[in-house]
Amino acid sequence: MQLNHTHDPAATSWVTSANAAGCDFPIQNLPLAVFRHYSGADDFRGGVAIGDQVIDLAQVSAADCLDGLAAQAAAACAQPSLNDFFAMGPAAWQALRHGLFALLKSGAEGAQVDALRSCLVPQITVAYTVPARIGDYTDFYTSIHHASNIGKLFRPDDLVTPNFRWLPIAYHGRVSSIGISGQKFRRPLGQVMAPGGSRPDFGPCTRLDYELELGIFIGQGNAHGEQIALDDAEQHVFGICLLNDWSARDIQFWEMAPLGPFLAKNFATTISPWIVTTEALAPYHQAWERPAADPQPLPYLASEHNRAEGALDIQLEVWLETAQQRAQGQAPSRLSHTSFKHQYWTVAQMVAHHTVGGCNLQPGDLLGSGTISGPTPAEAGALIELAEGGRKPVTLANGEQRGFLQDGDAVILKGWCEKPGCARIGFGQSRGEILPALQP
Ligand code: CA
């Protein structure tokens, strides 16, 4: 995607909170969410973040702030899910972004700018919901560092399965338990087979974990029986959010063969409310490299464009806030920091592979990137890696230790993009909290 005036790092907004250093939502970002007043007194509708405000797109539509395709796009966002807007395609996504950018930039004036001022809602007064009716959710497994770290724990003779370097591995996940940041869920129950055991035990999971991932929202889909070519994939991706694929490791390792995870993954998945658009992310693409000694991708997963700029440099952090930290007013602890740029497969390759057999993606479908672990141990995207399967618990600043997650723990994911010559843009955060299990 070509850079344009909406990526200009010098651009500022009359919404002055958007110009603060370190702000996640400057005028160059303009991510989308679905929100309402936290009291629940009004209806969910689409919004765009600017600084510490939400632009109410239902109000934008009603107040005629925009014209033409941008106005049609805002109208499509004036409902409790963004699927219709996603289905309008890249021209409409860009029209809305560029229309709002023109009204929000410093020095903008006129009747439509005045009208837009009445469409701002403070973010501290709103609650969010899952921004689309997600038809299908597919979770990938595309970090070779994660695959290798897990392999060392469980398959010392076979670190990475033979298919890993040839295709972006995935399984079909569960939609009903996907929740927005703030989600609280009960520790799952399930079957666990002890090492060397002859019959499984049933009870609450004792090896509860998180997985740091990105969530990729599909914009326009493809017809059943057709494919999305690798170099067209970007036109089908609306944007990206943060995603925590909560994982019950003890349940997972008993149930997973031969068909993949089931109860280990289907009890909760937490996403961040704001979707950072493909256009906003354009400055942060970079070359994607496949080590020369590794298999090179098959033709449908290979292109010059994907090599030149298929990778995305998104900085990511995982934070843990324990019940003790909350109770004693202590700061959460940062567990790891990495970048999505290390991923073995790109977003475009995931989309191309998903559809190569004729599977139709639909507007609002969600793809999980798979756990994002970087090349060093400290960059691991799951606690099972950091704590080496629970054998070397992580020690927090207040002295607490974690081999796996405990009841009352909250896991917070953060993400942002930043580099010289470009505006910093952020993803906000995704927070999920563990409640005690129901007793069997
Ligand atoms: Ca996962």
Q: Which of 46, 29, 18, 45 is nearest to 97 (CA)?
A: 29
Q: Which candidate, 96, 353, 89, places its Cα nearest to that of 235? A: 89
Q: Which amino acid is at 135?
A: G
pLDDT reported for residue 159? 81
pLDDT score recorded for residue 356: 98
For residue 161, the tally of other CB atoms under 10 A from its CB is 13
- Structure confidence by residue, pLDDT tens digits, 412-435: 999 999 999 999 999 999 999 999
- Burial track 93-130 (b if 16+ CB lie within 10 A, e otherwise): bbbbbbbbbbbbbeeeeeebbebbeebbbebeebebeb
Q: What is the pLDDT of residue 25?
A: 99
CA of 210 to the centre of ligand 1 (A): 9
- Looking at residue 440, what is its pLDDT? 66
pLDDT at residue 397 above 90? Answer: yes
What are the pLDDT digits (tens) for 6-30? 999 999 999 999 999 999 999 999 9
Judge contact between 369 and 213, C-beta under 8 A. yes
357 contact partners, CB below 8 Å, separation of at least 6: none
Q: What is the pLDDT of residues 187-196, one digit of tens each?
A: 999 999 999 9
CA–centroid distance, 214 to ligand 1, in Å, is 10
279 pLDDT exceeds 70?
yes
Ligand 1 center to 368 CA (angstroms): 7
Cα of 243 vs centre of ligand 1, distance in Å, is 9
Q: Which residue type, as a one-letter code, is found at position 124? A: I
Residue 90, pLDDT above cutoff 80: yes
Q: How far is the CA of 141 from the centre of ligand 1 (A)?
A: 6
Q: Are 431 and 182 in contact (CB under 8 A)?
A: yes
**What is the spatial distance between Cα 307 and Cα 385, in angstroms, rounded to a whole number?**
29
Q: What is the pLDDT of residue 1?
A: 77
Give the 3-state DSSP-derived string for 187-205, with helices as H, strands as E and coil as C: CCEEEECCCCCCCCEEEEC
d(CA 159, CA 312): 26
* pLDDT computed for residue 439 by the predictor: 80
- pLDDT above 70: residue 362: yes
What band does 406 get if pLDDT is binned at 50, 70 and 90?
Answer: very high
User: Average of pLDDT values for 61-78?
Assistant: 98
Q: What confidence score (pLDDT) does residue 12 get? A: 98
The larger pLDDT score, comparing residue 440 to residue 115, is at: 115
Residue 326, pLDDT > 70, answer yes
Checking DSSP bridges between strand 311-312 and strand 189-192, what pairing results, if any? unpaired
Residue 151 has pLDDT above 90, yes or no: no
CA distance 147 to 137: 21
Could you identify the residue written with the tokens 């399984």? 171
Q: Using DSSP bridges, classify how beta strands 237-244 and 276-277 pair: parallel, antiparallel or unpaired.
A: antiparallel
Q: Could you tell me the distance, in angstroms and rounded to a whole number, from the CA of residue 12 to the centre of ligand 1?
A: 37
Closest CA to 176 of 136, 129, 221: 136
Residues whose beta carbons lie less than 5 angstroms from ion ligand 1: 139, 211, 245
Model confidence pTM above 0.75: yes
Angle, vertex CA 300, rays to CA 294 and CA 306, nearest 5:
70
Which DSSP letter does residue 265 get? T
Instruction: For residues 182 and 184, give the distance between their C-alpha atoms in angstroms, rounded to a whole number.
Output: 6
For 165-219, write each residue's pLDDT tens digit.
Answer: 999 999 999 999 999 999 999 999 999 999 999 999 999 999 999 999 999 999 9
CB burial of residue 79 (10 Å; 0-12, 13-18, 19+): middle
Taking the C-alpha atoms of 250, 254, 259 and 261 in order, what is their torsion angle to the nearest 10 degrees?
Answer: -10
Query: What mean pLDDT value characterizes the chain?
Result: 97
Q: How far is the CA of 70 from the centre of ligand 1 (A)?
A: 36
For ligand 1, the distance from its centroid to the CA atom of residue 392, given in whole angstroms, is: 22
> What crossing angle do the helices spanning 68-76 and 90-104 adopt, rounded to 10°?
100
Q: Is 93 helix (H, G, I), strand (E, B) or coil?
A: helix
pLDDT at residue 209, rounded to an integer: 98
- Residue 126, SS3? strand
Question: Cα separation of 73 and 68, whole Å?
Answer: 9
Q: Residue 188 carries which side chain, given as an amino acid letter?
A: P
Query: Which of these, 131, 134, 121, 135, lies nearest to 46 by C-alpha position?
Result: 131
Please give the pLDDT value at position 155: 74
pLDDT value at 336 more than 90: yes
Q: How much is the pLDDT for 153?
A: 84
Catalytic residue numbers read 146
**Res 220 pLDDT > 70:** yes
**Length, in residues, of the chain:** 440
Q: Kind and range of the H or E element at 383?
A: helix 383-386
- What's the pLDDT at 380? 98
